[in-house]
């Protein structure tokens, strides 16, 4: 009975803590007579907080009370063997899959009720293990879509297109008159967008003409473009799902350098990777997942010597 | 005589260009296998006819026809938005059959299989378009405006987003784009143009019945989109010329009408087969038929 009461207190405290963190109106177990133990608010440096996420597909528990957090400006890695639930976790974080239980808190706000696209607008930018590009669009199209967060308005879109036509006509007539382009042209060339595109392509080292269709890119180049899109999209955290899967060692080193560079610039990165060696030389903090739950966490050195992790990876 | 006949053909071509182009916006650009387009065409035709015959000015009826078809298109997408591929095709085909049944069975409103005869010619700013020559000019202007607007839409950033959603919906959603909203708009726009095409058709032919908006017409429209090429404005303009003019050549061959009808269908079938075998992307298409 006494033990039971202690457990209840713990449970109540945990729920209340999560309530405080998210500012949501969760009413679970509010009828309990136990007073919650005051807990400090979460560290402001935590940008993404995953609390007890569970997800089952039929009888298979892909995620089982998975809990971890990502600090602002950190490079955190989520590792684990095949089927440990890493990608499912990413899909839950980006709302492509709805969790059964648990909470996701992004920048002190619960994102439970957000649709996938709304969450993306809140600042989550992600890549997929298998690159998801638009096969009939060019490199420029991809990056413009990622950069422009206001391109869904039909009227604005048509207005912009008309301005482009007007600009083209005015420029042509100006060049016929051998004078400089008409300054009164209503169309403002998106120089800033162009600069941003060039900058992000330089950052990832993708040297292809902007008009290249993605079907004309190699697998490695597609991986780089995928990374460039995620970087270009306005974000607060980057989720990278196996960014070096299936690519040659040279490109692998290149991507490692890109990630290190991004981290030095203050980016918050959460990445999934199979390869321990890749992660060891890169991440500040590592979470190890197995059977849908986090079994270990720590610095690369701590993880390397953790017997539980060695058992999961080596079966010893 | 031949002049009137040619004018008639060009008016039909104009109407079918608007229909093909708007259907291509949903199938080719948005990736929605929408088989409900012919129903939206019918909604436009009946709306305009009934409103004009009840005393509303033509221009107002014409626009209402487009708006009602646009709302129907958006509603159709709302009901089927979770469906993809074959399932979406079946659901939208079901919508076509439902609308066809309403046209056929709501006798008080549509006169059912008897159809509505004597649809007046358009009266615009006090002038009635009586001659086929002027009607051709009117159709030409509306077709030109439709091509202009749809070209602008497909070339715009909005059109690019539609294409991105067609290629990878999840890939676009994780970039923060609401693909449902994009496709609602796409279906509404396509519906609007199908509706106004229906209005032009009804006031030109001056008689409509449910058979004008049946499966046969839908097959013709789909053939036009495939022959012209998915996601191609140019293809959607060229295809109605080919599909209307080539079978018309049969009229000049001395043949009994019992053979002419089936022969026309055989020609459509042959054109489609040749295109699918030798030019699977259509005449001007940029994307593969999947």
**pLDDT, tens only, A117-134:** 999 999 999 999 999 999
Q: CA-to-CA distance for A255 and A16, rounded, in angstroms?
A: 42
Task: Look up the domain containing B107 and give its range.
Answer: 2-214
Number of domains in chain A: 1
Kindly determine whether residue B156 and residue A133, on different chains, have CB atoms separated by under 8 Å: no
A15: in domain: yes
pTM of this structure: 0.84
Token pair in block for residue A43:
């560290």
Q: Would residue A21 count as lying in a domain?
A: yes
Q: pLDDT tens, A151-191?
A: 788 888 888 888 888 888 888 766 555 444 444 444 444 56
Q: Is A10's pLDDT higher than 70?
A: no
Contact B155 A121 (CB under 8 A): no
Considering only the beta carbons, identify the residue of A125, A137, A151 that sits closest to B158.
A151
Chain B residues close to A115, C-beta within 8 Å:
178
Question: Is residue B124 within a helix (H) or strand (E), and if so which, with residue range?
Answer: strand B123-124
- What average pLDDT does the segment A45-64 reach? 90
Q: What percent of chain A stands above pLDDT 90?
A: 49
Q: Return the pLDDT at A59.
A: 84
**Is the pLDDT at A29 greater than 80, yes or no?**
no
Confidence grade of residue A315 (pLDDT, cut at 50, 70, 90): low
Domain membership of residue A263 (yes or no) is no
Q: Is the pLDDT of residue A70 over 60?
A: yes
If you average pLDDT over residues A275-281, what whole number do you get?
A: 82
Residue B115 resides in a domain = yes
Residues of chain B short of pLDDT 70, as ranges, are 289-290
Q: How many domains is chain B built from? A: 1
**Residue A149: closest CA among A190, A117, A126:** A117
Q: Give me the residue from B163, B174, B182 closest to A137, CB to CB.
A: B163
Q: How confident is the model at residue A246 (pLDDT cuts 50, 70, 90)?
A: confident
Any CB–CB contact under 8 A between B181 and chain A? yes
Question: What span, in angstroms and rounded, lies between the C-alpha atoms of A38 and B143?
Answer: 70
Among residues 136-155 of chain B, which lie with CB inside 8 Å of chain A? Answer: 149, 152-153, 155
Q: Is residue B148 part of a domain?
A: yes
Which pLDDT score is estimated for B289?
A: 63
Asked whether the beta carbons of residue B167 and residue A158 sit closer than 8 angstroms, the reply is: no
For residue B259, being part of any structural domain is answered with: no
Nearest to B224 by CA among B250, B246, B244: B244
Is residue B260 in some structural domain? no
How buried is B83 (Cβ within 10 angstroms: 0-12 exposed, 13-18 middle, 19+ buried)?
Answer: middle
Q: What was the pLDDT predicted at B92? A: 96
H or E element, residue A202: helix A191-204
Interface of B with A in 247-276 (CB under 8 A): none
Give the other-Cβ count within 10 Å of A292's Cβ: 23
- Closest by Cβ to A145, choosing from B175, B178, B185: B175
Q: Is residue B182 less than 8 Å (CB to CB) from chain A?
A: yes
Answer yes or no: are the C-beta atoms of A194 and A140 closer than 8 Å: no
**Contact (CB, 8 A) for B175 and A146:** yes
Structure tokens at A148: 């422009």
Segments in chain B forming alpha helices (H): 2-24, 37-53, 58-80, 85-105, 107-110, 132-155, 157-167, 169-173, 179-205, 215-228, 233-248, 257-278
Residue whose pair of structure tokens reads 């950069």 in the numeric block: A147
Determine, yes or no, domain membership for A291: no
Find, among B27, B9, B30, the residue nearest to B184 by Cα: B30
Quick one: tokens of A266?
């203050």
Q: How far apart are CA B170 and CA B189, in angstroms?
A: 23
The tokens describing B200, both together, are 């032009």
Query: Does residue A1 belong to any structural domain of this protein?
Result: yes
Interchain CB contact of A57 with B (< 8 Å): no
Q: Which residue of B has its CA nearest to A118?
A: B176
> Does residue B177 belong to any structural domain of this protein?
yes
Would you tell me how many other CB atoms lie within 10 Å of the CB of residue B243? 23
The predicted pLDDT at position A31 comes to 35
| Domain, as residue range, for A6 | 1-41
pLDDT band at A307 (very low <50, low <70, confident <90, very high): confident
pLDDT value for B60: 96
pLDDT band at A11 (very low <50, low <70, confident <90, very high): very low
> What is residue A177's predicted lDDT score, i.e. its pLDDT?
52
8 A C-beta contact, residue B127 and residue B120: no
Residues 6+ apart with CB under 8 A from A286: A76, A77, A78, A79, A279, A297, A298, A299, A300, A303
Instruction: Copy the structure tokens of residue B71.
Output: 């709302």
Has residue A235 been placed in a domain?
no
Q: Which residues are bridge partners to A33 per DSSP?
A: none
Mean model confidence pLDDT for chain A: 80
| CB pair distance less than 8 Å for B176 and A121 | yes
* Closest by Cα among A186, A197, A194 to A162: A186
């Amino acid at each position: 009975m006494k033990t039971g009461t202690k457990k209840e207190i713990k449970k109540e405290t945990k729920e209340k803590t999560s309530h405080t963190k998210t500012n949501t109106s969760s009413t679970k177990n509010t009828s309990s007579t136990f007073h919650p133990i005051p807990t400090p608010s979460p560290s402001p440096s935590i940008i993404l907080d995953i609390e007890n996420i569970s997800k089952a597909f039929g009888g298979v528990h892909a995620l089982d009370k998975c809990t971890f957090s990502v600090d602002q400006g950190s490079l955190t890695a989520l590792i684990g063997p095949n089927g440990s639930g890493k990608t499912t976790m990413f899909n839950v974080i980006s709302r492509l899959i709805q969790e059964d239980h648990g909470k996701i808190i992004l920048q002190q706000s619960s994102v439970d009720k957000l649709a996938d696209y709304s969450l993306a607008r809140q600042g989550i930018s992600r890549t997929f293990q298998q690159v998801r590009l638009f096969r009939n669009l060019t490199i420029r199209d991809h990056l413009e879509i990622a950069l422009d967060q206001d391109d869904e308005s039909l009227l604005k879109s048509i207005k912009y297109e008309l301005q482009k036509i007007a600009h083209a006509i005015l420029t042509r007539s100006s060049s016929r008159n051998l004078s400089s382009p008409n300054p009164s042209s209503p169309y403002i060339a998106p120089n800033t967008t162009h600069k941003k595109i060039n900058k992000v392509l330089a950052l990832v080292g993708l040297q292809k003409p902007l008009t290249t269709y993605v079907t004309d890119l190699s697998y490695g180049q597609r991986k780089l473009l995928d990374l460039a899109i995620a970087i270009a999209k306005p974000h607060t955290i980057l989720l990278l799902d196996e960014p070096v899967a299936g690519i040659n060692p040279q490109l692998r080193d290149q991507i490692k350098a890109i990630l290190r560079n991004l981290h030095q610039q203050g980016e918050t990165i959460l990445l999934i990777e199979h390869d321990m060696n890749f992660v060891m030389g890169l991440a500040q903090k590592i979470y190890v997942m197995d059977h849908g739950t986090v079994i270990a966490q720590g610095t690369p050195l701590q993880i390397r010597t953790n017997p539980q992790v060695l058992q999961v990876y080596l079966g010893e | 005589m031949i002049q009137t006949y040619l004018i008639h053909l060009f008016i039909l071509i104009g109407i079918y260009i608007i229909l093909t182009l708007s259907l291509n916006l949903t199938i080719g650009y948005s990736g929605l296998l929408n088989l409900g387009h012919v129903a939206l065409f019918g909604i436009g035709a009946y709306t305009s006819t009934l409103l004009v015959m009840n005393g509303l000015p033509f221009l107002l009826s014409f626009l209402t026809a487009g708006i009602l078809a646009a709302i129907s298109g958006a509603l159709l997408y709302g009901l089927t938005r979770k469906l993809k591929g074959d399932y979406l095709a079946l659901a939208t085909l079901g919508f076509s059959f439902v609308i066809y049944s309403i046209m056929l069975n709501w006798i008080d409103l549509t006169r059912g299989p008897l159809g509505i005869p004597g649809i007046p010619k358009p009266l615009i700013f006090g002038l009635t378009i009586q001659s086929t020559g002027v009607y051709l000019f009117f159709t030409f202007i509306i077709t030109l405006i439709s091509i202009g607007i749809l070209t602008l839409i497909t070339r715009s950033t909005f059109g690019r987003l539609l294409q991105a959603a067609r290629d990878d919906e999840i890939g676009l959603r994780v970039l923060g784009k609401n693909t449902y909203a994009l496709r609602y708009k796409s279906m509404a726009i396509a519906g609007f143009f199908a509706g106004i095409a229906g209005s032009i058709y009804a006031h030109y032919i001056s008689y409509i019945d449910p058979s004008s908006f049946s499966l046969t017409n839908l097959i013709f429209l789909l053939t036009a989109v495939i022959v012209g090429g998915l996601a191609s404005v140019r293809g959607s303009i060229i295809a109605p010329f080919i599909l209307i003019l080539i079978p018309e050549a049969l009229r000049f061959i001395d043949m009994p009408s019992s053979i002419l009808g089936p022969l026309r269908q055989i020609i459509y079938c042959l054109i489609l087969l040749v295109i699918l075998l030798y030019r699977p992307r259509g005449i001007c298409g940029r994307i593969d038929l999947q």
